[in-house]
Structure 1
Amino acid sequence: MINRVISTTLNEKISSGKAIILIGPRQVGKTTLIKSVLKDKDYLFLEGDDPTVRNILTNPNTKQLKSIIGDYKIVFIDEAQRIENIGITLKIITDQFKSVQLFVSGSSAFELNNQTNEPLTGRKWEYKLYPISWKELEDNIGYVKSTQQLELRLLYGMYPDVINNPGDEIEVLNQLVNSYLYKDILAFSGIRKPDVLEKLLKALALQLGNEVSYNELSRLIGVNKGTIESYIDLLFKSYVIYRLPSFSRNLRNEIKTNQKIYFYDTGVRNAIIGNFTPLNSRADTGAIWENFLISERLKKLSYSKLRNGQYFWRTKQQQEIDYVEEKSGKIFGYGFKWNPKAKIKIHKSFIETYDSQIKVINTDNFRELIGFTE
C-alpha cells in the first residue's frame, strides 16, 4: 500500500472529541486508508452499502445506538452517504457517546455534505482524499522509478488500482469509468438522462485546457444552458472535474467571468475519450500536462491546508498565463511546458500590474510546484 500524506493528520485527530470524516471520489482508497490508521486498534466496522446496516442506522434513538456500539471505543462507518439521515445519527453518537471516536467515509461529497454540514457543525474534522499524489508515489517507489513512470502517469492517471495493475491500466480505467464514476451522480442527483452526462463529459474532455462556454456546450449537446450548469456542478461536487476561474483585479481588458475545466485525474479524462496514444504522437500533450500539474497542485494545497486562490489569466488580446496562484495577497504566475526547451511569452502588463513574476514549469522542475516545496 502506498502511504498517504494525510494519514498523519488522521492519526493526530484521534481522541479529539470530534468525528473524523474522509470524503472523495470512489476507488481512491478511503476505506483502505482509515483501516490502515486503525490497524492496531479494536473498532466496530459498519458498511453503509450493507442493507442491514443502512436499516439500523436510519433514525435510531440513543438506546438503540448504545446496543449497536456496545463497548467499542472506535466506530468506523464506511460509505456513510448511503444511509438516510446519517447526519443526525452521527450527531447523536458524537454528542451522547463522548468516549467513542467516530470515523466516517463517504464517496459522494455532495450528498454527504448536504446531510452532515448542519448537524455536525463544530463536531467534525473533515478531509478530502484524492487519487495518489505524485509526492506519495515518489516517496513510495523512489525518484528514479517515478521519473521513469511520468508519461505513464499522464496517460493512465493516479488511481490506486491503475498504479497497482501495470499492463492492465486501460481495462482498470474503463471499469472505473463505466462502473464507478457516475454511480453517485446517478444514484443521488435524480439525473434521468445519463447519455447527456456522458456527452457532456466527452465534450469537456475534448476541450481540455480551453475556456468553457455553457452556451456552446448547450448547442453542442442539445440541452438548455441550465441543464449544462447543473450537470457540471454535479460533476464538480463528485470529484470528476475541477473548475479554474479567471483571475482579474485591475486591467480593463482582462477576461473576468470565464472558467476552464480540468479533470481530477488525467487517466479518467483519457478513458472518457478512449485515447491512450503516447504523448509524442498526440496533439493534446500540452493540455494533459497542464491538467496533471493543476490537479497535483490541488492535492498539495489541500493536504497542506493551504487556501491559496487558483486561477488562469487571459486578456481580450489573447495574452494568457496558464496558472495563477494568490498566496497571502501575493500573486504568482506559471507557464506550463512539456518540453523543457520551450519558451513562454512574458506578459509585462501582468508582471507590472501585479508585481509578480512568471515561472516556467516543465519536466525538469515540476516537482517543486506539486509537493516538494511550498
Structure 2
Amino acid sequence: MYVHRDLEDKFKKVADSYSVVALVGPRQSGKTTMLKELMKGHNSSYVLFDDPDARRLFDEDIKKFMVQYIEGYDLAVLDEVQYCKDPGSKLKYLADTGHRLWITSSSEIILSKDVLSFLVGRVGILRLNTFNIHEFLRAKGYKVLDEEILKRAVWEHTLYGGFPRVVLEESIEMKKEHLRNLHETMILKDVSRSFSIENIGMVERLSKYIAVNSGTLLSYSNMANALGISYQTLRKYLDALRKSGIIVEVPPFFTNRSREITKQPKIYFLDTGLRNSVAGFYPREMDGLLFENYVLSELIKMGLEPRYWRTKSKAEVDFIVERDGKIVPIEVKLQAKPEKVEKSMRAFIEKYEPEYALVVLYSGEKGEKRVNSTNVLFEDIEGLWKIMSH
C-alpha cells in the first residue's frame, strides 16, 4: 500500500529546478518508496549503494559506473549515497555529463561542506521525516475526523511513532519488533558506519539515557559523567545521533543572555515510537513530556526550527518558533481551559508582545483568550497544523 506523502508536490517543483535533488531523512522514513513512486513515467535507473559491487565501482571508477548503471537513462536514482567514499566530486562528474540525479541519504553527512561544495547552485535539498499526523490518518484510512477519533489517532501515533512500516503493521508485537530492529540498524549502519564510531554499546547507552530523559534540560557535563565518557566523545556521539535522524537538540531562545538562562539544549527523539522502544517502556496513557515530544516532532515535520524559552526566575515556554518573520510561543498541555493562560506564557507575552500564541491540547476545550494585544489560541494537533502550515 502506497501512502501519499505531503512532500511530493514540493519535490516535483524542486526536481524541475535542479539537476540534482538530495532527499535526506531517517532510515525507513519512506524516502525510497516515495522516489520509486515518483520515478514512474520516467526513463530511469535505480542504484542502491547497500550493494557492495555498485558502491565499489562508484568509489573506484566513476566512468565505468556511469556506463554500467546510468548511461541511456534520463534520470538516475542513487539510494543511500552516504555509504560511498567522497561522493561530492563523483556526483558532480555525473551531473556534468547531463544526467539528472535524485539521491538519498539516511545521514546528514551528505550535507557536509565537502559534498555540497561540488554541487553549489545545482542541488535542491529536501527532508523527509516519518509520517506526520495527516499522513498517519491517510495510512489508517480515516475519512471522518471527530474529536475522539483524532485523540485516539494521536495516541497511537505518539505511542508507536510514524515510521511507515510500523504504522501499516497491524500487530502490536510486530510494531514493537520493527522498532527494536530499526534502532539496532540505525546504530549499526548510520551511527557506527557513517561516523566511524566503534563503541556501539556506549552509543546505545547514550540513546537510552536520552530516551528516558527526553524533553528535560540536560547538562552535557552531567551526561558525560553519568556515562563515564569525555565531553568531546559525548559531543561526537550526540552529533552522530542527530545527523542520523534519531534525536533533535532544541536550543534556547534568548535576546538577553544574562537574564534568559542557559545555552543547554533540550534533547528529544525525532520519533516518539522509537523513543518509547529505546526507553523500554510503552506508557498506558499519555503523559506531559511524551506529548511535548510528539508536538516537537510535528513542528519539525512542518519545517520549523523550535527553540525553548527559560528565564532565571523559572518562567518557561515549551517552544518558540518563527513564522513569516514573527515569533510564536507554543505551550503543550494534556488539558487546559481557554480562560486560563499560565504565568510563564503571560511573562513571554509581556516581554515580546507576539501577535498570537498557541496552547496545544491533547484533549479539552478549544478556544481563545486575549492577553494584552496577543491572541492566545487553544488548539488540538490538527489546529496547530492549520495555523502553522497554511
If the length of structure 1 is used for normalisation, what is the TM-score?
Answer: 0.90
1:73 is aligned with what amino acid? D
1:161 to 165, 170, 181: 165
Write the distance in 1 (CA, Å) between the matches of 2:271 and 2:264.
22
Is 1:173 the equivalent of 2:174? no
Q: Which residue of 1 aligns with 2:131?
A: 132
CA distance in 1, matches of 2:336, 2:63: 62
Of 299, 322, 329, the residue aligned with 1:326 is: 322
Q: Which residue of 1 aligns with 2:385?
A: 370
Superimposed CA distance per residue, residues 193-249 of structure 1 (whole angstroms, 9 cap, x where no aligned partner): 112111111111121221110111111111111111121111111111101111111
Bigger Cα displacement from structure 2, 27-36 vs 249-258 = 249-258
Matched, 1:295 2:312: no
Residue 305 of structure 1 is matched in structure 2 by: none
Aligned partners of 2:45 and 2:70 also within 8 Å? yes
Letter paired with 1:28: S
Query: Paired residue for 1:222, among 228, 239, 243?
Result: 228
Other-structure match for 1:31:
32
CA RMSD of aligned residues (A): 2.2
In structure 2, relative to structure 1, the CA distance for the partners of 1:47 and 1:335 (3 Å cut) is same
Q: Which residue of 1 aligns with 2:116?
A: 117
Question: Per the alignment, do residues 314 and 222 of structure 1 end up closer, same or farther by CA in structure 2, a change over 3 Å counting?
Answer: same
Deviation sequence 1:161-209 (CA, Å, 0-9, x none): 1101122211111111123344211002221211211111111112122
- The equivalent position to 2:342 in structure 1, one of 342, 345, 350, is 345
Q: Paired residues, what number?
A: 362
In the alignment, which residue of structure 1 is the partner of 2:154?
150
Q: Match of 2:275?
A: 269
State the match for 2:377 in structure 1.
none
Q: Structure 2: 5+ residue runs without aligned partners?
A: 364-379
Structure 1 residues 101-132: Cα deviation after superposition (integer angstroms, max 9, x where no partner): 21111112225645521111111111111111
User: Which residue in 1 is equivalent to 2:369?
Assistant: none
2:367 corresponding residue in structure 1: none
Q: Relative contact order (alpha carbons < 8 A, sep ≥ 6): 1 or 2 greater?
A: 1
Equivalent AA in structure 1 for residue 353 of structure 2: D
Would the alpha carbon gap of residues 63 and 55 (structure 1) be closer, same or farther in structure 2, given more than 3 Å must change?
A: closer
Measured at CA, do residues 64 and 269 of structure 1 come closer, stay the same or move farther in structure 2, by a change above 3 Å?
closer
Question: What is the CA–CA distance in structure 2 between the aligned matches of 1:344 and 1:251, rounded to whole Å?
Answer: 26
Greater alpha carbon shift after TM alignment, 212-221 vs 176-185: 176-185
TM-score when normalising by structure 2: 0.86
How has the CA–CA distance of structure 1 residues 207 and 14 changed in structure 2, closer, same or farther, with 3 Å as cutoff?
Answer: closer
**CA shift at 1:5, angstroms?**
0.9
**Whole-angstrom distance in 1 between the partners of 2:183 and 2:69:** 36
SS of residue paired to 2:59: coil
Q: Which residue of 2 aligns with 1:95?
A: 96
| Match for residue 253 of structure 2 among 221, 230, 247 | 247
Separation in 1, partners of 2:16, 2:258 = 53
Which residue identity is paired with 2:129? Y
Q: Which amino acid aligns with 1:199?
A: R
1:261 to 1:8, Cα distance in 2 relative to 1, 3 A: same
| Cα distance change of structure 1 residues 94 and 180 upon mapping to structure 2, 3 Å threshold | same
How many angstroms does 1:309 deviate by? 4.7
Asked whether 1:105 is paired with 2:110, we answer no
Unaligned regions of 5+ residues in structure 1, if any? 303-307
Identity of aligned residues (%): 28
Relative distance call for 1:294 and 1:223 in structure 2 (3 A) is: same
1:27 CA displacement: 0.7
Task: Tell me what 1:85 maps to.
Answer: 86
Task: Check whether the contact 1:20–1:103 (CA below 8 A) recurs between aligned residues.
Answer: yes
Change (3 A) 1:64 1:76: closer
